[in-house]
A and B are shown apart, each in its own frame.
Chain A
Amino acid sequence: MPQTVFAPWDDPKETPLIRFEGVTKRFGDFTAIDNVSVDIFAREFFALLGPSGCGKTTLMRMLGGFETPTEGKIWLGGQDIGRTPPNKRPVNMMFQSYALFPHLSVWENIAFGLRRERLDKDKIAARVEEMLRLTRLQRFAKRKPHQISGGQRQRVALARSLAKAPKLLLLDEPLGALDAKLRQDTQFELVDIQEKTGTTFVIVTHDQEEAMTVATRVAVMDEGRIVQISTPDKIYEEPQSVYVADFIGDVNIIEGTASATGPETYAITWGEGRPPLIAQSQRSFSEGQACSLAIRPEKVAIHAQEPEALNRVRGKILDIAYLGNLSTYHVELAGGQIVKAQEANTRRIARRSFTWEDEVWLSWSDTAGVLLAE
């Protein structure tokens, strides 16, 4: 049986659940969201990623109904919801600070939204029990929010926002307050719950690893604009700008000028007297156009002797960052530029082949990097 890939964004026949159409949001004369257009499809786990203050929360609050767009339209299931108040939208939000009601127990917090719908008691109780089971909170049902841990509070907030079975769930930095280990566990839990319930999730985060772990697609934001929307692997492997390449993970940026040497192949001149670097690129560059070559450190190999490779440079080890499973070598080239190379630590640290001040060679293939125009 062939496995169908979940990729509704590639299918022109699919209609999106949410459509932002040229949405702009201004606070006074400050533009927080600048002409954003994006489609989000049902059952997606869509991540908004960007540095603090780039407008992620504002975009999300417009989906929740807490802000109205200054310009443009927001469609949800074919309806313009730009001015619909929050209590009239099939959308629920999990707040950055959880916003649990301190005077209500865990059970009552989860039941809060259901009670507003005037369902009968048995139905509410059954639904709350289901949510408690889903988030593994049965034992804490009677506690008040201040009597449980941060991780449990986070799960209550999730259960509460899922209880009404919204078409769309918004999560604003849901894991911000958790420690690293709990974060990881919770990320997988979130994905699991998202798949089980079939709800569309939009998550806000400034943590690129988190976005890559949970999301079907990631939108990278910069100063109120969306600069790239792609699947996590494409964002990582095929960034469309230096900003995205730099924001997602670690990257070496080498600036130079391009000249074509063959079909989709360019030689990059990057300094007097050095042999040009060779890179393949589907994006075309004119002769002598300024460009940046972005290469991930793990795609750069490190050698003691000069290797047989298309691209090779010589330098001195300046610093070694030991990350346990990996080591990142900071190598200073003759011109003073630093290139990072990453290697798996397959041997014990005492037997490591390179150390500080060693003269080494770095090499990479012509397909290792991405050639960018800006």
Chain B
Amino acid sequence: MRRIFVIAVPYLWLLALFLVPFLIVLKIALSDMALAIPPYAPTLDFQAGWAGIKAFVSELDFENFTFLASDDLYWKAYLSSLRIALVSTFLTLLIGYPMAYAMARSPEAWRPTLLMLVILPFWTSFLIRVYSWMGILSSEGYLNQFLLWIGLIDTPLAIINTNLAVYIGVVYTYLPFMILPVYATLEKLDGQLLEAAEDLGCSRLSAFWLVTFPLSRSGIIAGCFLVFIPTIGEFVIPSLLGGSDTLMIGKVLWEEFFSNRDWPVASAVAVILLLILIIPIVLFQRNEQKQRESEG
């Protein structure tokens, strides 16, 4: 009895919070747009009994998905999201790894404080932080004012409303997600391994590449997925910091849903996005599992 309960809880959780909403979204994706409330047809009418359900199912089709395939806006948006996510993940790694490394190498007494500083931004609202970046990056923003003041530039740089601003926003927002897992693996690293590597003829640098880096691999992989997965569907950062030419699937989805009120197409976009994300999510889980086993 208890065992059934223990197993049932996570499955019920999954069912209620993932599977049911997903099926609802999938159902909408298979429907047609309608000028009604809710703005799609058909709707399921349980009062009509079995015949009602049959009539409902017969009206569902894959029209919206064929539409997505025929309009190149969508697959361009998917590709562009993938590219932006990949590039930002790489940049986050490039910036986050040295930070995590420095933290792990700092005196033990400082580490809790440094860790605190990494987590500190989460204490303010994400939206407010993105808005502040608008204040920093806009043409009259602090950055441009500062650069003009020190005389480095004559005319303000156009950063806001470009992909560059999106990259800055994404890297800034997701940096802690990279630093934390990488730091966790680096902090566990036995310093004697590096001494052993040097003893066997490595320079400091080659000891890093041959020992430290491979041993922090699982942290790097975890960090990359934690940045990559949410960035693909990111909507707030591209709409606030990006320009009209910043194409991201999250933004497209939002516009289909709220501007066009085309719930079925928006749902179809969401279903495809989910299918794309399943691959990295599964890979991420496998990495975590392997990590646990090797420590096990």
Contact = CB atoms under 8 A, between A and B. Distances in A.
A95 B197 CA distance: 11
In which size bucket is the chain A interface? 20 to 34
Contacts of B217: 103
A92 B199 contact: yes
A99 B201 contact: no
Given A102-B215, A103-B215, A112-B197, A87 B202 contact: yes
B195 A95 contact: yes
User: Which of B193, B200, B214 has the most CB atoms of chain A within a 10 A radius of its CB?
Assistant: B200
5 contacts: A64-B199, A87-B201, A92-B200, A161-B200, A164-B200
Contacts of A101: 193, 196-197, 211
B203 interface: yes
B294 A87 contact: no
Interface string B199-227: 11111001000110011010000000000
Contacts of A142: none
B201 A116 contact: yes
B214 A86 contact: no
B206 A116 contact: yes
Given A87-B198, A99-B192, A103-B214, 4 more contacts: A86-B195, A116-B200, A161-B199, A164-B200
B190 interface: yes
Interface in A160-180: 160-161, 164
Nearest to B211: A101
A26 interface: no
Contact of B200 (A65, A85, A160): A160
A112 B200 CA distance: 7
A99 B196 contact: yes
Contact of B198 (A86, A97, A102, A117): A86
Interface of A: 64-66, 85-87, 91-93, 95, 97, 99-103, 112-113, 116-117, 146, 160-161, 164
Given A112-B200, A113-B200, A164-B200, A99 B215 contact: no
Nearest to B194: A99
A164 B201 CA distance: 10
Contacts of A64: 195, 199
A85 B192 contact: no
Contacts of A92: 199-200
Contacts of A85: 198
Nearest to A85: B198
Contact of B192 (A86, A97, A146): A97
A188 B194 CA distance: 30
> Chain B CB within 10 Å — which of A85, A86, A91 has the most?
A86
A87 B215 contact: no
B199 A86 contact: yes
**How extensive is the interface on chain B, given as a class?**
10 to 19
A103 B213 CA distance: 11
Given A102-B215, A103-B214, A87 B193 contact: no
Contacts of B190: 97, 99
A114 B214 CA distance: 19
B127 to A, nearest CB: 42
B290 to A, nearest CB: 12
A99 B200 contact: no
Contacts of B195: 64, 66, 86, 93, 95, 99
Nearest to A91: B199
**Best-surrounded residue of B196, B202, B211, B217 (most CB of chain A within 10 A):** B196
B293 to A, nearest CB: 10
Nearest to B203: A87
Contacts of A91: 199
Please indicate which of the listed interface residues A93, A95, A116 has the most CB atoms of chain B within 10 Å of its own CB: A116
Given A99-B192, A101-B211, A103-B214, A146 B294 contact: yes
Contacts of A95: 192, 195-196
Contacts of A103: 214-215, 217
Nearest to B201: A116
**Residue among A64, A87, A160 with the highest chain B CB neighbour number at 10 A:** A87
Contacts of B294: 102, 146
Nearest to B294: A146
B205 to A, nearest CB: 11
A102 B218 CA distance: 13
B252 to A, nearest CB: 42
A95 B195 CA distance: 9
A99 B200 CA distance: 12
A99 B203 CA distance: 17
A87 B199 contact: yes
Nearest to A160: B200
B80 to A, nearest CB: 36
Nearest to A166: B199
Nearest to A146: B294
A107 to B, nearest CB: 15
Interface in B170-206: 190, 192-193, 195-203, 206
A96 B118 CA distance: 35
Contacts of B192: 95, 97, 99
A228 B65 CA distance: 87
A367 B215 CA distance: 61
Contacts of B198: 65, 85-87
B94 to A, nearest CB: 23
A113 B215 contact: no
A91 B258 CA distance: 71
Nearest to B189: A102
B218 to A, nearest CB: 10
Contacts of A66: 195
A97 B193 CA distance: 10
A101 B206 CA distance: 14
A113 to B, nearest CB: 3
Contacts of A100: 196
B201 A117 contact: yes
B267 to A, nearest CB: 45
A160 B196 CA distance: 10
Contacts of B214: 103
A174 B193 CA distance: 16
